[in-house]
Chain A
Amino acid sequence: MKRAEQAPVLVVGAGVAGLACSRALADAGKDVVVLERARGVGGRCATRRMEGQPVDFGVAFFHGHHAEFLSALDEVPSEQVPGWPFVVAGTGKPCQSEAFTPGERRLAYRDGVQAFPRHLSRGLQVHLQSKLAGLVLDGNHLRLTLEDGRQMEAQTVVLALAPEQISSQLESLAQHPQVASARAVLGLARSQACLVARALYPPAAPVPDWQILFPETSDLLQVISHDSTKRQAPARQALVFQAHAAWSRTHLEDPEWPDLILAEAAQLLGTWAAHPEVVEYHRWGLARSDRSAELAQPMLLELPGGSALGICGDRFAPGGGVEAAWLSGSRLAQRILSWEAR
């Protein structure tokens, strides 16, 4: 049998919640190993280069009001676009209406929103393309098995995933009452899907005068982001189309969805919008939390034998979004540190 690798804290999920938790633990001197199934860090804080131009296709911009979160954003060594979006059009419903309340700070980064998770992950030991397959309690530690057969052990494991994923990973530990309760809480919520198209337009295309549009009449598109307005002298006009949660859920398996998004774009903006020069599509199956399911704080479950299981994510702090994800991760790190110091 292969010998399992040991780390004091294993964090599963390199989205903003997992990275904020790992960052705070590492800053306090802990050895942290982060596991991420994707090829890059950031989760929904996602930026992809199209023809060399950064395009944000998950989170469009940051907003927040907690002093600590704002200073974490300010530490990122990337040029900020303060106040973006400057012009918000349409009367449709934003993902988070708080984003536009007085006193809320908004910003983007010139080289994309992923600059934030990339900065959080600096110096951390992050294993990419490492997908968790199983989790068992073995005496005084937790043993994780990855999909490729690797095994890892730790006394403290943090699951910073979508609640559905956490709940299914915890099935093997459901005989412990605190885990059963946690799964009941996780089961209160379902993550929302989001189908996305990111498009580059030819120079002759009309230029919208807004940075964000929340269309009021569309059952299909929730938000259109004029992404290239975040860039310094962009070569191309870039628009990112994000579909409503309900529509995304019912069309996740529909092969026609990319065409339907572009057809709706043409309806809303003009026929030109259906003819981008370059277009790419992305399916977010577990994009964000439903606001009716937000929770107050992350969980730290003590298991028999002295190991502990932390749970954090955008739903584990009031408000939702990147700020809530960051707060939940940082707060969980503080709880782990004070629990271990006990």
Chain B
Amino acid sequence: MTMSKDALDQLVERDQDHECAGFGEARICVRVAAVANLPTRAGTFHLVGFWNNRDAKDHVAMVCGDVVGMEDVPVRLHSECLTGDVMGSLRCDCQDQLQEGLKAIQRAGQGVLLYLRQEGRGIGLLNKIRAYALQEQGLDTVEANLALGFRDDERDYAVAAHMLHSLEIKSVRLITNNPEKIRQLTQHGVKVAGRIPHIIPPNDHNRFYLETKARRSGHQLDPIQLDRLPEQSDPVVFATTPDPLL
């Protein structure tokens, strides 16, 4: 058994009856509840399951290498997107973002991907399907999308901050192109020591976006309106385009 697996198992032991004041407006509190190895196409991870005191959504961390008690740990926040992550939807770029996040962590030899079970930015799969349907009817306004739940959810960051705290990670290097994510996590007490640009290489699977993005420049009303429903709050940066924050 590896050292990091031992360290993670000890967290399960530690958290058996953990209860704190909670993080964020909703005072969410999580416990490290289950740990196992998970070999994936991107490489081998430890899968860490978290219980929480708010709902039945079991958030998970995919951990690579030793992270418990460490500083400058590469961390990627990914919000669940069934249509993108699993079904390979071309309405969003979630699958690319997820896979590239996992690869970046494997390349670094150490890191954590927090997989947050908050479909469609917090409000659920049903409303996401409804939002897609409204778009198809041509009824797409910002207010309707906001009501349906397509927005950054404060809870994302609160639960993510507690999960990082539970993993005893001292400071993180956030894999992101989104300065807002850094600000929000910092607000919840996470020490962000740096940022790793999240850059996606162009390939057959995402050529669709590259073409759409090129097509869309200069067009206000693209029928697909990919930029209207950013499931991950990160702007997409392809290897062929410069990182906007550099």
Q: Give A residues with C-beta under 8 Å from B.
A: 65-68, 98, 101-103, 177-178, 180-182, 184-185, 188, 292, 294-301, 316, 318
Contacts and interface: CB of A to CB of B under 8 A. Distances in A.
Interface string B50-62: 0001110000000
Interface string B176-220: 000000000000000000000000000000000000000000000
A295 B148 contact: yes
B126 interface: yes
A183 to B, nearest CB: 9
A184 B139 contact: yes
24 contacts: A66-B26, A66-B27, A68-B25, A98-B55, A177-B139, A182-B141, A182-B143, A182-B147, A184-B137, A185-B134, A185-B144, A185-B147, A185-B148, A294-B124, A295-B127, A295-B147, A296-B122, A296-B151, A297-B146, A297-B147, A297-B149, A298-B147, A299-B144, A300-B143
B148 A296 contact: yes
Contact of A178 (B29, B137, B143): B143
A180 B141 CA distance: 9
Interface residues of B, number: 30
Interface of B: 19, 22, 25-27, 29, 53-55, 121-124, 126-127, 130, 134, 137, 139-141, 143-144, 146-151, 153
A184 B123 contact: no
A178 B142 CA distance: 8
Contacts, number: 80
A65 B134 contact: no
Contacts of A101: 53-55
Contacts of B153: 296
Contacts of A98: 54-55
Contacts of A298: 147
A174 to B, nearest CB: 11
A67 B150 CA distance: 24
Contact of A67 (B27, B130, B140): B27
